[in-house]
C-alpha cells in the first residue's frame, strides 16, 4: 500500500496526511448524509477504518482489524451528544483508532491532550500567555486555548489520551464541557460554546483502573467501547504484517520477501504466553508479567527486520527476532526468566520445525 503523505521527510505523518489520498477518494465517493461538520458520513468513516473498495476501484486499506460492530458503535457514538471512551489492555489500538476516527470525522487528529499524573487543568481548559497577561491584563489575545477549547469552537473532534492517569479534579473539568457543551472563561466574563460537530474521544487502559477511577458523573458522559485483543492468530498475524510493512516503509527498511514464518512464530509465542496455553490446547504454560501486546509483537518484528537488513542478508530469520522476544517476555529479570526458560524447554524445543528458533533463543537467553 502506498503511504500518500510520506513526503517532506516527516518521520510519522498524522493519519490525515498519511492517508490523504484514501480520505479524498472516500469524500468524493461518499454520498450519504453527513452529520454537521463531518468530513464523511458514518458509513464513510467505517469504510475508512475497516477498509473496502470504492466504486471507482480505489482500495481503502483496513486500519483497524476487529469486529465491525465495535467500530460502528464507536462512530455512532460520535454522532450523538455523548463522548466516546475507548477502553482496553495496552496495545489494543486505542490510540490508533482514536487518531484515525478523528482524522476521518474532522480531518484533523491533532487536537490532542496527553493525560499524565501531571496534566494541569489548563491543558483541558485554557491557559494564558503570561507576557501578554502582565502587559495588557486578561484579554482574548492573552488566552491560550487548549486543544479541547479549539475543538469546541471549530466543531471538531478532541482527543484525550490516557484519561484515567489524569488527577481526578482535573478530569472533572471535562464534566461541564461534556454535559453543558460550554467552557466558561470567568476572567473575561465570556464562554466558549461548542459548535455542532464537536465531540471528544478519550482512551484509557484497563490496567490503570483504580489509579484514578473515573468519577461516575464523568463516566455517564461517555459511551464506553472495549477494544479486545485480536480474536484469532490469523487476525493478529494480519495486523502485525500490515503494520510492520507500513513502519518498515517509513523507516526505509527493505521489505523482507519472506518474513511470514517469523511473524507467525512471534505471534504464536506471544499468544501462548499470554493465554497460558499452547495453540493445540495440550500444554499449560506460565504467563510472564508483561502484556505481550500486538503492539509489542510489531516492535519485535520491526526490530528484527532492521537487524536482517543491516547485519544479515535481508531475510528475516529466527536469530533476528529472538532477542526482541526475550526483551518483551523477560520484564522482571528473576520470575520472567524462569517462565521463559520453562516455555523454551517444554514447548519450543519439542516443536516440529522450530529447532533453528530454539537454538537462536538459547543463544540469547544464556
Ligand atoms: N486490532 C488491531 N487492528 C489494527 N492495528 C492494531 C490492532 N491491535 C493493535 N494494533 C497496532 O498496535 C499498535 C499499538 O496500538 P496503540 O493504539 O498504541 O495501543 P493502545 O493505545 O491500545 O495501547 C498500533 O500500531 C496498531 O496499528
Ligand atoms: Mg495508547
DSSP states along 253-268: PPPPTT-HHHHHHHHH
Q: Provide the Cα torsion 251, 254, 259, 264; round to 10°.
A: 10
Same domain, 204 and 286: no
Burial (CB count <10 Å: 0-12, 13-18, 19+), residue 111 = buried
In this predicted structure, what is the pLDDT of residue 247?
Answer: 85
In this predicted structure, what is the pLDDT of residue 5?
Answer: 47
Max CA pair span of the chain:
76
Q: Which of 124, 144, 127, 126 is nearest to 200 (CA)?
A: 124
Q: Is the CB of 143 under 6 A from ligand 1?
A: no
Q: What digits encode the pLDDT tens for the residues 42-59? A: 999 999 999 999 999 999
Domain count, the chain: 2
DSSP 7: G
Residues 197 and 174: their CA atoms lie apart, in Å, by: 17
Please report which confidence band the pLDDT of residue 249 belongs to, taking 50, 70 and 90 as the band edges. confident
Residue 238: pLDDT above 90?
Answer: yes
Q: Is the CB of 163 under 6 A from ligand 1?
A: no
Q: If you average pLDDT over each of 148-162, 254-268, 322-336, which comes out highest?
A: 148-162
Structural domain range at position 293 = 233-365
The position carrying cell 484515567 is 164
Query: Which residue CA neighbors atom 13 of ligand 1 most closely?
Result: 295
Residue 327: pLDDT above 70?
Answer: yes
The answer to whether 64 and 235 have CB atoms below 8 angstroms apart is no
Answer whether residue 190 is part of any domain.
yes
Starting from the CA of residue 92, give the closest ligand.
Answer: 1
Q: Is the CB of 90 under 6 A from ligand 1?
A: yes
Average predicted confidence (pLDDT) for the chain: 92
Residues 105 and 100: their CA atoms lie apart, in Å, by: 8
Answer whether residue 134 is part of any domain.
yes
Answer whether residue 83 is part of any domain.
yes
Same domain, 184 and 263: no
Q: What digits encode the pLDDT tens for the residues 68-121? A: 999 999 999 999 999 999 999 999 999 999 999 999 999 999 999 999 999 999
To test ligand 1's pocket by mutation, which of 226, 234, 294 has the most ligand atoms within 8 angstroms of CB?
A: 294
Answer whether residue 356 is part of any domain.
yes
Q: Is the CB of 318 under 6 A from ligand 1?
A: no
**Which ligand 1 atom lies nearest to the CA of residue 65?**
3
Query: 0.75 exceeded by the pTM?
Result: yes
Could you say which of 162, 194, 226 is where a domain stops? 226
Please report which confidence band the pLDDT of residue 7 belongs to, taking 50, 70 and 90 as the band edges. low
Cα-based distances in Å from 188 to 141, 183, 205, 227: 11, 12, 37, 41
Q: Is the CB of 92 under 6 A from ligand 1?
A: yes
Q: Is the CB of 237 under 6 A from ligand 1?
A: no
Please report which confidence band the pLDDT of residue 4 belongs to, taking 50, 70 and 90 as the band edges. low
| Beta pairing partners, 202 | 85, 160
Same domain, 250 and 274: yes
Amino acid at each position: 500500500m502506498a503511504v500518500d503523505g510520506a513526503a517532506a521527510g516527516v518521520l510519522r505523518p498524522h493519519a490525515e496526511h498519511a492517508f490523504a489520498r484514501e480520505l479524498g477518494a472516500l469524500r468524493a465517493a461518499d454520498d450519504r448524509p453527513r452529520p454537521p461538520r463531518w468530513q464523511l458520513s458514518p458509513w464513510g468513516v467505517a469504510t475508512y477504518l475497516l477498509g473496502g473498495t470504492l466504486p471507482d476501484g480505489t482500495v481503502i486499506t483496513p486500519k483497524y482489524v476487529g469486529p465491525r460492530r465495535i467500530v460502528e458503535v464507536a462512530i455512532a457514538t460520535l454522532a450523538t451528544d455523548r463522548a466516546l471512551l475507548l477502553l482496553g489492555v495496552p496495545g489494543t489500538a486505542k490510540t490508533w483508532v482514536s487518531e484515525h476516527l478523528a482524522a476521518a470525522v474532522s480531518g484533523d487528529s491533532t487536537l490532542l491532550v496527553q493525560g499524565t499524573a501531571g496534566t494541569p487543568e489548563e491543558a483541558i481548559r485554557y491557559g494564558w500567555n503570561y507576557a501578554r497577561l502582565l502587559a495588557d491584563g486578561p484579554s482574548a489575545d492573552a488566552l491560550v486555548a487548549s486543544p479541547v477549547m479549539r475543538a469546541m469552537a471549530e466543531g471538531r473532534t478532541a482527543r484525550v489520551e490516557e484519561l484515567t492517569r489524569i488527577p481526578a479534579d482535573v478530569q472533572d473539568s471535562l464534566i461541564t464541557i461534556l454535559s453543558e457543551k460550554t467552557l466558561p472563561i470567568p476572567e473575561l466574563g465570556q464562554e466558549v460554546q461548542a459548535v455542532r460537530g464537536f465531540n471528544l474521544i478519550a482512551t484509557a487502559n484497563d490496567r490503570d483502573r483504580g489509579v484514578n477511577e473515573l468519577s461516575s458523573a464523568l463516566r455517564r458522559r461517555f459511551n464506553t467501547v472495549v477494544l479486545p485483543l485480536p480474536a484469532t492468530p490469523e487476525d493478529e498475524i494480519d495486523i502485525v504484517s500490515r503494520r510492520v510493512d507500513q513502519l518498515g516503509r517509513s523507516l526505509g527498511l527493505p521489505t523482507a520477501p519472506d518474513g511470514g514464518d517469523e511473524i507467525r512464530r512471534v505471534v504464536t509465542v506471544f499468544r501462548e504466553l499470554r493465554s497460558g496455553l499452547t495453540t493445540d490446547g495440550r500444554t499449560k504454560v506460565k504467563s510472564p508479567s508483561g502484556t505481550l501486546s500486538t503492539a509489542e509483537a510489531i516492535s519485535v518484528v520491526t526490530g528484527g527486520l532492521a537487524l536482517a537488513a543491516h547485519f544479515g542478508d535481508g531475510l528475516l530469520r529466527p536469530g533476528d527476532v529472538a532477542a526482541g522476544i526475550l526483551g518483551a517476555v523477560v520484564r522482571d529479570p528473576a520470575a520472567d526468566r524462569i517462565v521463559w526458560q520453562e516455555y523454551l524447554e517444554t514447548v519450543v524445543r519439542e516443536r516440529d520445525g522450530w529447532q533453528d528458533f530454539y537454538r537462536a533463543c538459547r543463544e540469547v537467553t544464556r
